[in-house]
Amino acid sequence: MPAMWWLAGAAVLVVLLGLYVFWMSGRVDRCHARASAAQAALDAHLVRRAAAALALAGTSGDEQLRWAARVALDAAHDEREAAENDLTRVLREHHKKVAGSDPDHADDADVVAASRRAALARQVHNDLVRDALSLRRRRLVRLLRLARRHARPAYFDIDDPVLDRA
C-alpha cells in the first residue's frame, strides 16, 4: 500500500505546484501590463509638460524655452531622455526667475502642475518596472519562461522634473 500513498502525495504536490505556477504567471502578466500602461501615461504627461512649456514660451517670449520644448516634443526615441532633461533644466531656470520676483503670481503655474504630474508618472513607472524586473529575475519565472510573451520593461532615466514640491 505505501506505493499508493506515495502516488497520492506526489499528485497533491503536482497540483500545488501547478497552482503556484498559475498564480505566478498571473503576477508576471499583471506587472508587465501595468509597466507598459505606466510608460504610456508617462509619455502623455511629458508631452503635456512640453506643450505647457511651449505655451509659456509663447507668452513670455523666452526663445530658449521655446527651443527646448520643441526639441522635447520632436525627439526620437533614443534622444528623448536627454531632451527631457534639457527641458527640465530650462524650466528650472525660468521658475527660479519668476519665483524669485513674485512667488504668488508666477506665470508658470501650468508648467509647475504639469511637471509635478510628470514627476509622479515617472516615479510610478519606475516602481512598476522595478516590480516587473524583480519578477523576471526569479528562478521559476526564468525556468518556465513565464515572461516570454512580454518585452523586457526599461526604466525611463530622467532627472526628477519637479519644479516646486510644495
Partner 1 sequence: MRIGIVCPYSFEVPGGVQNHVRDLAETLIEMGHEVSVLAPADEDAELPPYVVAAGRAVPVPYNGSVARLQFGPIAAMRTRRWLQAGDFDVVHVHEPVSPGLSMYAAMYSDAPVVATFHTATPRSRAMAAAQGILQPVLEKITGRIAVSELARKVQVEHLGGSAWEIPNGVSVAKFAEAEPLPGWPGAGGAIGFLGRFTEPRKGFPLLREAFVALAARRRDLRLLVAGPGDPDDVLEQVPAGVRERVVFLGLVSEEDKRRMLRSVDLYVAPNTGGESFGMILTEAMAAGTPVVASDLEAFRAVLDGGRAGALFRTGDSTDLCEVLAGLLDDAAARAELVARAARAVSRFDWPVLAKRVLEVYATAIEVHAVDTGPDWRSSS
- Does 120 interact with partner 1 (rule: CB under 8 A)? yes
* 42-71 residues near partner 1, rule: CB under 8 A: 44
- Is residue 38 within the footprint of partner 1 (CB under 8 A)? yes
Cβ neighbours of 85 (radius 10 Å): 16
Where are the alpha helices (H) located in 61-108, listed in sequence order?
63-74, 80-101
Considering only residues 134 through 153, tell me which ones interact with partner 1, judged by CB under 8 A: 134-135
CA-to-CA distance for 127 and 155, rounded, in angstroms? 9
Tell which one of 27, 66, 70, 80 touches partner 1 (CB under 8 A): 27
User: 137 exposed, middle or buried (CB, 10 Å; 0-12, 13-18, 19+)?
Assistant: exposed
User: Residue 74 Cβ, how far from partner 1 at the closest point, in Å?
Assistant: 24
Tell me if 23 contacts partner 1 by CB under 8 A. Answer: yes
Nearest distance from residue 128's CB to partner 1, in Å?
A: 7
User: Which residue intervals of the chain are DSSP H helices?
Assistant: 2-60, 63-74, 80-101, 109-136, 139-143
Any idea what the Cα angle at residue 41 is, between residues 36 and 45, rounded to 5°? Answer: 150
According to the binding rule CB under 8 A, does residue 17 interact with partner 1?
no
Q: Does 106 participate in binding partner 1 (rule CB under 8 A)?
A: no
Grid cell digits, residue 97: 526667475
User: Out of 37, 82, 109, 144, which residue is the one contacting partner 1 (CB under 8 A)?
Assistant: 37
Burial 71-80 (b: 16+ CB within 10 A, else e): bbbebeeeee
25 part of the interface to partner 1, by CB under 8 A:
yes
By CB under 8 A, residue 158 contacts partner 1: no
Which residues here bind partner 1, judged by CB under 8 A? Answer: 19-20, 22-23, 25-31, 33-34, 36-38, 40-41, 44, 116-117, 120-121, 123-128, 130-131, 134-135, 165-166
